[in-house]
Amino acid sequence: MSAAEQRKLELDRKKQRLAEMKSLRKREDEARVQNLLRLPVANGNAQNGSANRQTLSSNEVDEILREVGIAPKSTTREESPAPPQGAHAENHLDPMSASASHPRISSLLSVDLEFSTVQTASTDNKDSAIYSKGTQTDDERISVGEFSLGSQEFDYDDDMIMPLDHGQFRGRAHSRDQDSPISYNEEIAKILGHTKHVDKVLTRQDTEEKKTQSVQTIQPLSDEEKNRLTLDPEFLDSFNRSCKVIGRALNEDIDIFINYTKDPYEKAIASDDLLHLAQVYHDDTWTSKRLVTGMAFSEHHPDLLAVSYGPCDVPNEPPGVIVVWNTKSKRVTAEFIVYCQSEIQSVAFARFHAHLLLAGCESGQICVWDNRLTSRKLPINRSPLTTQAHTQPVSCLAVVGTKNAHNFVSLSRDGRICSWNVDNLTQPVDGKELVTKDGKPASATRMSFPIGEMQTFVVGCDTGEILAASRNGADPAVIKTDVCYKGHSGTLTGIEFHRASGVVDFSHLFISSSHDWTIKLWSTKDANLKFSFESHPDLVLDVAWSPVHPAVFASVDADGNIFVWNLNEDVEGPVARLRAGGEGDTVYMNKLIWSPDGKHVFVGDDEGRVHMYDVRESLYVLKSEEWNRFARVLSDMKESNEDAEKYNL
């Protein structure tokens, strides 16, 4: 039992005991009055005054006073003390001696007692109010010497006339100016000693009781109810959403030591490395031992990264899996996990449909998931297997155009390009075969569209050639390439147009990677502008431009090396390099992508892991001259190529 409950029980017992004592006192007073009324009273004329009234002796009066709790004085009149000597002797008057000279005093002190009938009534009070003698006030309407036998508390003791100067007299002397003749019972005194705090304690207890009554008691769930809840898809959806919200709140990263007076372009940092491993995204159940085949960021939610995974050796597991990771969370958090019954080769978010996730499969089908249907892991829609669509693995996906006029474009290994309406995948809007200038079908591996362009594009082939074409050809069934870029001697593994936008337009630039261990820089405007980067010790598997810095790009190779290039600093080699894994441990890095803000690089390997690396601040916080510097670097590259061609001739 708590201390509050014990205190409450103690107060209840004291209140009950006090009520019993009051009730007993009341019954005794009533009995005493009845006894007094039974005494013979002489009947006579009321005008005769005290002549016809029964009088009591002093002993009887003392006995009555003792019964009601008033201690009588030993004598009715005491001799007046001798007046004090001094100048103030004339101010000291004896009330008893004054009665001989003042008729009013004489009449007040000689009071005849008489019996009268008193009617008493009791009512139940809703609020128990307790008053002490200190709170009582004088009531001039009460005649001198009168008191009620039925009252429980005496407001005044015997009244005295206090003489003042000039014949003035005070009406009465209050009981707190004299020693009260009332003797308190010890038990009553103990109870009344706590009355000052009773009201506060009762008020506090009432408030606690109201709070306790207002709060509903939550009963624990039974095993049957728990099982029913765990099987309810709506409850699981709400519970998972709540867990994600709490996880984001706990993992919020706020730099409380940020210094706004620091130069944002200052290159001095605590670490000398441009790359720092910040996080590894991995799931033992869904991604272990799977090859990362594609990565894409959401434009509506830039912190969401969709990663597609290839098959694994575990039986009865789906061959294609897509996991959407939350890259802002400090802990590894998978927001959505979906799968299909075919290997997934590419993945993309629908730019103008915030909830749709797209994937190209090994079978040639296009699959669509809706992340609002968290309980559904299989696609909500998929394209049919027909000759009008793809019959080979879909290697690339792209959503181009604007919100009011856009297309979903897919490319398969046989060189077929299809345009789709995301809301209807029963058949493509159009489908064309990509052929070279010689009329041969192109075996395409990679595709890229310039920023803000939806017609012209470039395609990398198995032969190492790069084909530039347009979807607005005259032939409704064939896309004939206009330009062919030759330079690679191996299969194209990566190709991407310049992504950063600034004071100088570099959207005509694109880079490519190949199995020939090289990376090459191209321009759709100038055929003489090209440059080769040959620092990788193995097959270059992917390359990507920085979305914010005009001269920065990153690349990965089959030996697990990650290179970061800054052409404004060095055109011969990378400014940062990092090898994933420990010594003697070769990690096959397959895919590469930058975060939309340019602060992180994400790399996927063949073990189902996605490595997130933080880059130095100087690679995403730019000075204004970076654009002009890169323009001068490109001009120098062009002059070097022209000089080399002259010497070769």
Residue in the structure block whose two tokens are 């003035």: 168
Which residues fall within 8 angstroms of residue 253, CB to CB, at 6 or more apart? 328, 330
Residues 627/550, Cβ–Cβ less than 8 Å: yes
- Confirm if 479 and 464 have CB atoms less than 8 A apart: no
Nearest to 191 by CA among 355, 8, 17: 17
For residue 589, the surrounding DSSP H or E stretch is strand 589-594
Q: Where are the domains of the chain?
A: 15-217, 292-431+454-472
**Contact yes or no for 588/252 (Cβ under 8 A):** no
Closest CA to 284 of 349, 337, 242, 327: 337
Q: Is the dihedral of CA 562, 272, 582, 307 positive or negative?
A: negative
DSSP 8-class letter at 571: S
How many C-alpha atoms does 278 have within 13 Å on its Cβ side? 18
Q: Where are the beta strands (DSSP E) in 477-517?
A: 478-480, 483-485, 492-497, 509-514
Alpha helices, DSSP H only, in 432-507?
A: none
In the block, tokens 């070279």 appear at 436
Cα separation of the two ends of the chain: 103
* Cα distance between residue 576 and residue 277, in whole Å: 13
Distance (Å, whole) CA 47 – CA 630: 131
Burial class (CB in 10 A: 0-12, 13-18, 19+), 561: buried
Return phi, psi of residue 495, to 5°: -155, 135
Contact between 571 and 583 (Cβ < 8 Å) = no
- Residue 175: the pLDDT is 42
Is 504:627 a contact under the CB 8 Å cutoff?
yes
Distances (CA, A) of 73 to 28, 61, 94, 158, 430: 24, 11, 18, 11, 124
Q: Which residue has the tokens 């009332």?
A: 182
Which CA distances in Å does 219 have to 214, 222, 225, 231, 454?
15, 9, 12, 21, 61
> Contact, 296 vs 349, CB < 8 A?
yes
The per-type count for the chain, helices as H runs and strands as E runs, is 9, 31
CA dihedral (82, 86, 90, 92) positive or negative? negative
Question: Residue 491: CA atoms inside 13 Å, Cβ hemisphere, count?
Answer: 10
Select from 366, 399, 397 the least CA-distant residue to 381: 366
Cα gap 309→346, rounded to integer Å: 9
The number of C-alpha atoms within 13 Å of 76 and in the hemisphere containing its C-beta is 8
- Contact between 396 and 446 (Cβ < 8 Å): yes
CATH superfamily ID and name for 292-431+454-472: YVTN repeat-like/Quinoprotein amine dehydrogenase (2.130.10.10)
Residue 618, helix vs strand vs coil: helix
What span, in angstroms and rounded, lies between the C-alpha atoms of 119 and 126?
23
> In this predicted model, what pLDDT tens digit does every residue of 9-42 receive, in sequence order?
888 888 888 899 999 988 988 888 888 777 655 4
- CA distances to 536, 561, 562, 586, 592 from 581, rounded to whole Å, are 17, 10, 11, 7, 16
d(CA 589, CA 556): 6
Give the CA radius of gyration of the chain: 51
The span from the CA of 641 to the CA of 632, in Å, is 14
**Encoding tokens for residue 398?**
């792209």
Q: What is the pTM of this model?
A: 0.61
Helix, strand, or coil (residue 306): strand
Residues of the chain with pLDDT under 70: 1, 39-56, 68-69, 71-217, 248, 252-273, 528, 581-585, 648-649
Helix axes 3-38, 195-214, angle to 10 degrees: 130
3-state SS, 598-645, equals CCEEEEEECCCCEEEEEECHHHCCCCCCHHHHHHHHHHHHHHHHHHHH
Q: Cα separations (Å) of 44 from 35, 39, 55, 118?
A: 22, 16, 14, 20
Q: How far is CA 187 from CA 153, 180, 237, 541, in A?
A: 16, 18, 66, 96
Return the exposure string of 184-205: e unless at least 16 CB atoms fall within 10 Å of the residue's CB, then b. Answer: eeeeeeebbeeeeebeeeeeee
DSSP 34: H
Residue type, 545: W
Sheet containing 610-615, strands listed edge to edge, beginning at the edge strand earlier in sequence? 275-281, 610-615, 600-605, 589-594
Reduce the DSSP state of residue 648 to 3 states and report it.
helix
State how far the Cα of 522 lies from the Cα of 531, in Å rounded to an integer: 7
